[in-house]
Structure 1
């Protein structure tokens, strides 16, 4: 088999669980104007959205046009003001908004038409008047005039389109019950629509700088730790996630310069950007026999480096009841084991976390789970042997001691050639 064929089959196997998991799930994708302005990137995105539609995902698109509107205003010599990073829409600007957004929408629809033709499909994208708007109002003494916010969305109509296999497209233009035209801030609209639909995912394309100082994954509660270090636009995204993201299960931030970001984020374990999750992203649970292969894959690099003692598959299968694991999307990314030594003492062993997830404090979670399990088993002292990470364990309440402190029936198995440091911790309820 050629390497290209092998890569294809391996990638398809890796993506298969995610294809099944995402089927019939609703995802809202925010498309900034900067991305739409690049024809090659736009066509690639259209092809990817058609692919998602074919795979059974329910896709809703929200259209951004800030870049194009700025250009149109500059070309006409129009001045505008902003407050709280939101454009103030004057009545005399509405015609330019309507012309520009209509043009951007036609670009998007043309790209989808081409993408569908290559797959011999009918055009699945549909735009319509499903949003009722209301004025954003006067905030801190500033009248936003014809800048609006989402008042209500016709969920029934949108869900009917999704169930029919079509892709609804929502533009920044929306109308009030009295027929007034409003310009909705596109980022705010994306969050509002995803919340109203209780979407499984909100996918946000943003500038590369947005992702540079953010972790691979974080919860809504973690956002406050990162806010101060961000630029204005990133702060705005994170603040919207805090205030409007509770009804959205997962929010994905992707680099608009990466044409493959959407598929990588959905169909690979590690994705390509930053995930903000409101549901529990990982699961910590007792290990099962089916987890043996995943544990072996996780600890193999550490065994090769001499950090962990090598374990055979046979021994691991026999000892699997001693293990706890951390799982993300059916992948084992952390483990730890508790081995009883006698009626009062136990040994913590094989604590490992995938390097890609070490900023998520999973090691602390595993340590706490092992300590809880030890107390529930009637043990009051934990020992561990380590050659590399003793400082981390000392920082979590262990004290260094000598091999002579090990219980008698564990001391005889101490490997003097490894010269492992012995650490000890007294457990308390």
Structure 2
């Protein structure tokens, strides 16, 4: 088998559980005008969204068009103003908005028609007056005129479209109950739609500057910390929206608009290709089960080879699996620790390990806390451990140095003088 064939089969195997997991789930995708302007990127994205629809995902698209509208204004020598990063939309601007957004929508629909034909799938894109708008109004003496905000979303109509196997499309234009036309901020609209539809995911394409210095994954608490420290205005606006909406949207994915294929990596690979903002628990810490043995072996074998951990055979792990806790992300074991009872009052912490790819996320501390809680639940008063490399970390977490002679007698005979492990203990 050629390497390309091996890569394909391995990637398909890795994607398989995600395909099952995402089927019949609703996702909202925000496409900025800059991405749509790049015809090659738009065509690639259209192919990927046709694929998502074919895999059973329900897709809502919200289109941005700021880039194209700015170009149109510049070509016509029409000035415009912004206030607090929001465009003031005059009556004169509306005609340009309607024409430009009509062109953008036509480009998107054309890209999807081509992508559908190439995959021999008839996919329909549907849009409608699903969003009721109202004026943004006069704020601090500034009249925003035809710049609007969301008033109401007809989520039942959108859901009917999705249940029919169609892609729902929303643009920056929305209408009031009196028939007026308003320009909406489509990024804000994407968050509102995802919230109203109780979407499983909101996927946002944005520029590299907005993504700068963001880690691979952020909890709600992390988002608030970044929001307080960030000096990047576009990043702060995005994180503020995420903070306000994240309790309603399980996962928000931030991806570079320079790489439209990042969406498939975010959805169907373990580590993705962007920044994940999660509301639900990103990882699962739980008691180990017998079918976790292979995952634990994969995790600890490199550490055993480096001499950091004592070697354990598969048979030993199978017999002692009830002593272990594991951390799992998307069916991969990325952390483990074990609690071995010594007697009624003493126990040993052993085999604490975290995958290198996930270090720096306080997972080791989470495992340690869970082991200590487990020990306390068993009325253990003293926790012992042996380590050759990480004694400073354990000292920072409340352990003190001891000696082999202070180990309980039943453990002293097992002390390996060749390893010269440091003995640490902690009173619970």
Ranges in structure 2 where 5+ consecutive residues have no aligned partner? none
Give the 3-state SS of the residue equivalent to 1:189 in structure 2: helix
Match of 1:110 in 2: 110
* Matched-pair contact (CA < 8 Å) for 2:266–2:272: yes
* Matched-pair contact (CA < 8 Å) for 1:148–1:184: yes
Match of 2:292 in 1: 291
Match of 2:17 in 1: 17
Match of 2:149 in 1: 149
- How big is each residue's C-alpha offset from its partner over 1:244-296, in whole Å with a ceiling of 9 and x where there is no partner? 23211110001111232000000011011111111122211111101111111
Structure 2 counterparts to residues 146-295 of structure 1, below 5 A: 146-227=146-227, 228-295=229-296
How far residue 132 of structure 1 moved from its aligned partner, in angstroms, is: 0.7
* Matched-pair contact (CA < 8 Å) for 1:191–1:245: no
How many angstroms apart in 2 are the aligned matches of 1:225 and 1:355? 24
Structure 2 counterparts to residues 26-425 of structure 1, below 5 A: 26-227=26-227, 228-425=229-426
Give the 3-state SS of the residue equivalent to 1:334 in structure 2: strand
User: Which one is further off, 221-230 or 162-171?
Assistant: 221-230
Give the 3-state SS of the residue equivalent to 1:247 in structure 2: coil
* Matched-pair contact (CA < 8 Å) for 1:148–1:183: yes
> Structure 1 residues 36 and 126 mapped into 2: Cα distance closer, same or farther (>3 Å)?
same
Structure 1 runs of 4+ off > 3 angstroms?
none
> Structure 1 residues 378 and 150 mapped into 2: Cα distance closer, same or farther (>3 Å)?
same
* Matched-pair contact (CA < 8 Å) for 2:309–2:351: yes
* Matched-pair contact (CA < 8 Å) for 2:339–2:350: yes
Ranges in structure 1 where 5+ consecutive residues have no aligned partner? none
How many angstroms apart in 1 are the aligned matches of 2:252 and 2:365? 25
* Matched-pair contact (CA < 8 Å) for 1:46–1:115: yes
TM-score computed with the length of structure 1 as normaliser: 0.97
TM-score computed with the length of structure 2 as normaliser: 0.97
How far residue 143 of structure 1 moved from its aligned partner, in angstroms, is: 2.3
How many angstroms apart in 2 are the aligned matches of 1:239 and 1:49? 27
Give the 3-state SS of the residue equivalent to 1:178 in structure 2: coil
How far residue 123 of structure 1 moved from its aligned partner, in angstroms, is: 3.2
Give the 3-state SS of the residue equivalent to 1:360 in structure 2: coil
* Matched-pair contact (CA < 8 Å) for 1:215–1:359: no
How many angstroms apart in 2 are the aligned matches of 1:380 and 1:360? 28
How many angstroms apart in 2 are the aligned matches of 1:197 and 1:207? 26
How many angstroms apart in 1 are the aligned matches of 2:337 and 2:344? 20
How many angstroms apart in 2 are the aligned matches of 1:75 and 1:311? 71
Give the 3-state SS of the residue equivalent to 1:101 in structure 2: helix
How many angstroms apart in 2 are the aligned matches of 1:319 and 1:140? 67
How many angstroms apart in 2 are the aligned matches of 1:272 and 1:186? 23
> Structure 1 residues 304 and 202 mapped into 2: Cα distance closer, same or farther (>3 Å)?
same
How many angstroms apart in 2 are the aligned matches of 1:229 and 1:338? 41
How many angstroms apart in 1 are the aligned matches of 2:146 and 2:359? 47
How far residue 88 of structure 1 moved from its aligned partner, in angstroms, is: 1.6
Give the 3-state SS of the residue equivalent to 2:311 in structure 1: coil
How far residue 327 of structure 1 moved from its aligned partner, in angstroms, is: 1.4
Q: What is the count of residue pairs matched by the alignment? A: 427
Give the 3-state SS of the residue equivalent to 1:342 in structure 2: coil
User: Which one is further off, 323-332 or 56-65?
Assistant: 323-332
How far residue 206 of structure 1 moved from its aligned partner, in angstroms, is: 1.0
How many angstroms apart in 1 are the aligned matches of 2:33 and 2:269? 26
How far residue 230 of structure 1 moved from its aligned partner, in angstroms, is: 4.3
> Structure 1 residues 230 and 276 mapped into 2: Cα distance closer, same or farther (>3 Å)?
farther
How many angstroms apart in 2 are the aligned matches of 1:178 and 1:287? 61
